[in-house]
Structure 1
Amino acid sequence: MTVALFTLGGTISMAGSHRLTGADLTTAMPGLTDLGHEVEIQDVEKIPSANLTAAKLLEVVEAAAKAVAAGAAGAVITQGTDTLEESAFLADLVWPHPQPLVFTGAMRNPTLAGPDGPANLLAALRVACSPAARDLGALVVFTEEIHAARWVRKTHSTSTATFRSPNAGPLGHVVEDQVRVLTRPARLESIQAQADLDSIRVALYTVTMDDDALLLQGLADTHQGLVVAGYGVGHVPAALAPVLGDLATRIPVVLTSRTGAGSVVRNTYHSPGSETDLLRRGLIDGGFLDPYKARILLRLLLATNSGIATVFEKYV
């Protein structure tokens, strides 16, 4: 049996001015001969992850789906880490297959001492081949930790241990070359877009002290949705509450927390600009979803006929 590898560039493939191919990445990789699966490599366009679009990512996910339909045990996608958490979550939302779809990359390129790419890639390939990783959706594998795409975050700008799941922790680990899954969250139904995502514009607005809301003026005329990253458990300055309430009558507005961990609450605070006030004004509860993932989900839902509030309820 095979495992499919799709390479999209990023730090893992940066060797000075030379960009490594999938064959370069796997040649002479320690432990690869013990994988027990042939690696089928497809080198995709080398794109810095800052330039990666949803449309391009979905093309690669579709190719991965064809590979598993043709018999691959699973698939691995390598890309830059800047947007890896968003790519993995988008892939998880549309991936309907039991076979694992694993994302990985590197924080230290091959020209530096101690590059982490080879170990991350080998661990990702092991997870993609493992029956234990089936029915977990899209995963992120870094430093031999297995994270659910739904919860994983890039939490440090330079550390090789940057990927963490603050609200849940890793699902498992690769230990002595063995994939050991410790917990199995319930999978949610995949979502299939019925419109071109390029035509869907969703803004992300982070609330700050003394916020005057000027950046929100006219937003409903240019965007189909908005995600608000509020203070703490979902608060904004009182002056913003009617502005956001007005927007919520015109476009879907999702309330999230800018903190990086924890959930928006529903009924703890009651002052103007509190979570209770904002939800009463029609904002949608983003629950445990961070602002970046909420934006991915809202954009995808706007491209379907799905009930937005109903689907978000499953992620809170």
Structure 2
Amino acid sequence: MSQTLTEVPAVAVIGVGGTIAMVPTSAGGVSPQLTATDLVQAVPGLAEHRLSVVDFRRVPGAWLSFADLDELLAAIDEAMSAGAAGVVVTTGTDSIEEMAYYLDLRHTRPEPVVVTGAMRNPATAGADGPANLLAAVVTAADPAARDRGVLVVLSDEIHLAARVQKTHTTSPSAFASPNAGPAGRLVEGTPRWLTGPVTRRSVPTAYSGPAATAPRVLLHTVTLDDDPAFLADAESRMDGLIVAGMGVGHVPAVLVEPLTKAAAAIPVVLASRIGRGPVLTGAYGFPGSERDLLDRGLIPAGFLDPLKARVLLRTLLASGASREQIRQVFTADVS
């Protein structure tokens, strides 16, 4: 039985920019100029939904800052407080896997937040933005999306913010969740869920400790024959450090000393540069192995990829979490 328009849950669409909002410029290339209203009006099928529209930003995804995302969280909360059953955020895909995860760490209400974008701009043949926006609105309006936190919807796939990764620079099907697969798919315009709600990490606005102001968190990707000079005195320059190690969490022997020194002073999190699979905790025992590094005070990232590990560590530091609280959050058994 079809719903009447007044029975359809209200969805707020908040435009942030990105390729989905880009049009050609006189100087060449494209830039984000379309408003959120422009995007909504260009999508067949959205007339069946009750929508409110907020033109929040018109910027490339690479320009976003954590300060922008804090303002975006306030806009999301305002929309939900005004009665929206869900919120759709249109943004750039360059940073979507990081920004969606940050929103997920901060968003604690049951109403869903669905982040979407496009790989092809509106002036391109086969532009994917309209279909992605429609799928995102349908997902945000689905009662089964409640209590799932922040979702990323592109190419008719629904991904959890904590799992999704951008896996291709240009393909319309660029997004995947390598460690678990999508949480759902759009089938004939309807969300079909493949998993139930999962246990999520969330970071309180403030822990009991002093919050770091704009904490500096370095992400260092370990490479063959790496130079320890890059990590020398990292603890004096940074508030936290993410190490994207080789394989299951290994580093060259020359990095053991600077990492040991850093871990004695600041939180150092060990992730894998692979982006698929977990960091191990006890399989190998040589200097620079995951077991050796964890014994020296590094914190395992589990299944979190390096980009999301950096977002989580920075969010915890900005909230005043202690070293022990940071360790507990990273090592918690969550999906």
Q: The residue matched to 2:69 in structure 1 has which SS?
A: helix
Aligned residue in 2 for 1:222: 237
Deviations along 1:182-216, one digit per CA (max 9) or x if unpaired, are 10242335313337775211000000011121111
1:32 aligns with 2:40: no
Counterpart of 1:62 in structure 2 is 74
- Structure 1 residues 260 and 75, CA gap change in structure 2 (3 angstroms): same
- The 8 Å contact of residues 147 and 197 in structure 2, kept in 1 or not, is answered as no
Cα deviations by residue, 1:100-155 (Å, 9 ceiling, x for unpaired)? 10100000001110000000000000111110111100000000100000000000
Return the alpha-carbon distance in structure 1 between the equivalents of residues 218 and 267 of structure 2: 11
Q: Does 1:206 align with 2:196?
A: no
In the alignment, what sits opposite 1:314? 332
Identify unmatched segments of 5+ residues in structure 1. Answer: none
Aligned residue identity for 2:14:
F
Corresponding residue to 2:319 among 290, 293, 304: 304
Q: Distance in 2 between matches of 1:201 and 1:315?
A: 27
Aligned pairs (5 A) from 1:163-242:
163-188=175-200, 190-194=202-206, 199-242=214-257
Amino acid in the other structure paired with 2:179: N
Q: Distance in 2 between matches of 1:196 and 1:65?
A: 23
Q: Is 1:12 the counterpart of 2:27 in the alignment?
A: no
Deviations 1:59-80 (A, max 9, x none): 1122111211221010011111
Q: Hey, what's the Cα distance between the residues in 1 that align with 2:267 and 2:331?
A: 14
Q: How does 1:112-151 map onto structure 2 within 5 Å?
A: 112-151=124-163
- Which one of 266, 274, 290 corresponds to residue 251 of structure 1? 266
Stretch deviating more after TM superposition (9-18 or 247-256): 9-18
1:33 CA drift (Å): 2.3
1:2 corresponds to 2:10: yes
Which has the higher mean CA deviation after the structures are superposed, 189-198 or 65-74?
189-198
SS of structure 1 residue aligned to 2:59: coil
Q: Deviations 1:73-105 (Å, cap 9, x if unpaired)?
A: 100111110000000000000100111101000
Aligned length, in residue pairs: 314
Instruction: Determine what percentage of the aligned residue pairs are the same residue.
Output: 51
Q: Distance in 2 between matches of 1:262 and 1:249?
A: 27
2:35 is the alignment partner of 1:21? yes
Consecutive aligned runs of 4 or more in structure 1 exceeding 3 Å deviation? 193-198
User: Whole-Å Cα distance in 2 between the matches of residues 27 and 19 of structure 1?
Assistant: 15
User: Structure 1 residues 189, 159: closer, same or farther in 2, change over 3 A?
Assistant: closer
* Structure 2, unpaired ranges of 5+: 1-8, 26-31
Equivalent residues of 2:34, 2:58 under 8 A apart: no
- Any idea what SS the aligned residue of 2:274 has? coil
Q: Distance in 2 between matches of 1:112 and 1:197?
A: 44
Residue 267 of structure 2 aligns to which amino acid in structure 1? P
Are 2:103 and 1:88 equivalent residues in the alignment? Answer: no
Instruction: Give the whole-Å Cα distance in 1 for the aligned partners of 2:149 and 2:143.
Output: 13
Distance 2:333 2:172 in 1: 28
Preserved contact between residue 6 and residue 77 of structure 1 (Cα < 8 Å): yes
Between the aligned partners of 2:154 and 2:221, the Cα distance in structure 1 is: 28
Q: Alignment partner for residue 293 of structure 2, among 272, 278, 297?
A: 278
Deviation string 1:145-169 (CA, Å, 9 cap, x unpaired) is 0000000000000001001000010
CA RMSD of aligned residues (A): 1.5
Displacement after TM superposition at 1:38 (Å): 1.4
Specify whether residues 7 and 315 from structure 1 end up closer, same or farther in structure 2 by C-alpha distance, changes over 3 A only: farther
SS at match of 2:68: helix
Cα 1:156/1:83, change in 2 over 3 Å: same
How far apart are 1:315 and its partner, in Å?
5.6
Residue range with higher mean Cα deviation, 250-259 or 206-215: 206-215
For the Cα contact (< 8 Å) 2:251–2:289, is it kept in 1? yes
**Counterpart of 2:136 in 1: which secondary structure?**
helix
